[in-house]
Structure 1
């Protein structure tokens, strides 16, 4: 590992090249560049997840930590690891302070691996508009996590408003095992589904996306049955035109599949670590049309997949926005009496 304190982007590029030479080509075949935008308190989580993902997808990992953008003094600290604790990847952890953090692309762009796709992942509260972050604009794929937001379901709806082909969310990834089990039930079901119920907490983004997916696939209006007894989605129930009822219920790391007239079956439904979820999203670098259809059904915004996949960067200064918000919230001065 090489540590560079109070350095420059040019020095980071040189140090990465030197470390690659000394490592002897540990990562000679890179599949992509993964740019992770992370809050300081989640850096270790992001490193652990990226290590798992890199085992399946050798990549150049660029972790960007932005701090104190209102600070007058700019500073860049960097750690460079090639084939070390982060597994089979080239990793650069960059901590940016002051106004430099608003121009992270000036450091990141020269570090992108040549001739491979770029995936941008926010392991933090998702941005309101991805175009406000240049690191998202340069990404071929953009991965957010609505569960990190204060209101996860509202964050999902905002993802629909701001959607462009190539966007995805880890809330969608988390229901892949659910979607697999529900879809496999139709291997032996010929009847049309007339009703669907999803049992999940009111603010669970996975439950909301499951409703959107069922609506898009089955052309029905699912019902969300709120529950406060469980921290995440609990069950999916489907009623068919022939009177049969199919129900999938989570029990710890298994799911119980029930069907009218048949014996209950136990199926695996393990909650995966963050790294496995990230690795799943790195398997595909094209637009996920099924996700866009589910998001469209959830939000009521049509034709998301027909939008342009390209965004144009929109400059936004968080410090200036904060001052404007404070000014608008302050009471107006009292008028001078005549």
Structure 2
């Protein structure tokens, strides 16, 4: 690892090139560049997640920590690593102090792997408008996680208002096992669904997105009914021929119940952030089912028809605070 204190972007680029020459890394083997925006207190959690994802996807990781934009003197500290705690690939940790933090792209852009897609992931709070953050403007895919925001349900609505193809959220990735299990149940159905209910916490964004996905797929309104617990507890599907199916999450087991049949039980473990991040990095095109589900939740129409290219909108948090 090379550590650089009070350095420059040029010196970081040179240090990365030196590490690559020493380690014999080849840029052509990189599938993508992952740019992570985080806070210092979340470093350990993010590093664990990135290490898991990097073990499955050859990539260059750039971690951006914006520190105290009010500091009178801008400063850049950096760590450059080939292999190590962030996985087998290349990684750069950038700590930006003062006004430099508002221009993170000036340091980050030269570090992107050439001819490779760019994925931006905000582990910390997402900008209200992603175009305010240039790190999201140049990214091909953008990953948020509204469950970490102060009001996740309101944040999910904001993600719909600000949506562009290529956006996704980890609260959507959480429900991948639910979607897979439900799709399997519908494969054996002989009649269309007449009524569907998601039971759980009505303000849980994952429950809302699951209901939105079912609504967009089936063409019927699917509500979220309040049930015990913080998250999704069960889904009940009634079919037009009188048959019904109930899926319940019971102690990390998914139990499928059908009248007159023996219950089917499958493992339903809680996945780590690293596993979900790795799943999102498997696809680098626009996630249209997510856009349709988000549209159903928010009432916003034709989200997938929006322009996928954002234009950077200059936004100074200090000035915004003064105006507010």
TM-score over 0.5 (shorter chain) = yes
Distance 1:185 1:55 in 2: 33
Residue 17 in structure 1 maps to residue 17 in structure 2: yes
Matching residue of 1:113? 113
Q: What secondary structure is seen at the aligned counterpart in 2 of 1:247?
A: strand
Select the structure of larger CA radius of gyration. 1
Q: Offset of 1:183 from its aligned partner?
A: 0.6
Q: Offset of 1:324 from its aligned partner?
A: 1.1
State whether residues 126 and 144 of structure 1, in contact with CA within 8 Å, keep that contact through their aligned partners in structure 2.
Answer: yes
Matching residue of 1:255? 254
Q: Offset of 1:86 from its aligned partner?
A: 1.6
Q: Offset of 1:26 from its aligned partner?
A: 7.1
Matching residue of 2:273? 274
Moved over 4 A (4+): none
State whether residues 126 and 148 of structure 1, in contact with CA within 8 Å, keep that contact through their aligned partners in structure 2.
Answer: no
Q: What secondary structure is seen at the aligned counterpart in 2 of 1:186?
A: helix
Q: CA RMSD in A?
A: 1.1
Matching residue of 1:328? none
Q: Offset of 1:202 from its aligned partner?
A: 2.7
Structure 1: 5+ residue stretches without partners: 326-338
State whether residues 200 and 224 of structure 1, in contact with CA within 8 Å, keep that contact through their aligned partners in structure 2.
Answer: yes
Q: Offset of 1:301 from its aligned partner?
A: 0.7
- TM-score of the pair, normalised by structure 2: 0.98
Matching residue of 1:310? 309
Q: Offset of 1:195 from its aligned partner?
A: 1.1
- The aligned runs of 1:1-338 (5 Å cut-off) are 1-25=1-25, 29-227=29-227, 229-325=228-324
Distance 1:25 1:111 in 2: 15
Task: Give a deviation string over 1:308-336, Cα, whole Å, max 9, x none.
Answer: 100000000000111111xxxxxxxxxxx
Q: What secondary structure is seen at the aligned counterpart in 1 of 2:7?
A: coil
State whether residues 200 and 229 of structure 2, in contact with CA within 8 Å, keep that contact through their aligned partners in structure 1.
Answer: yes
Question: How many aligned positions are there?
Answer: 324
- TM-score of the pair, normalised by structure 1: 0.94
Distance 2:215 2:28 in 1: 45
Distance 2:121 2:88 in 1: 19
Task: Give a deviation string over 1:9-37, Cα, whole Å, max 9, x none.
Answer: 11111111111111122776100000000
Distance 1:58 1:262 in 2: 45
Distance 1:311 1:261 in 2: 53
State whether residues 143 and 167 of structure 2, in contact with CA within 8 Å, keep that contact through their aligned partners in structure 1.
Answer: yes
Matching residue of 1:329? none
State whether residues 27 and 114 of structure 2, in contact with CA within 8 Å, keep that contact through their aligned partners in structure 1.
Answer: no
State whether residues 27 and 88 of structure 1, in contact with CA within 8 Å, keep that contact through their aligned partners in structure 2.
Answer: no
Distance 1:73 1:166 in 2: 36
Distance 1:223 1:61 in 2: 39
Distance 1:210 1:29 in 2: 36
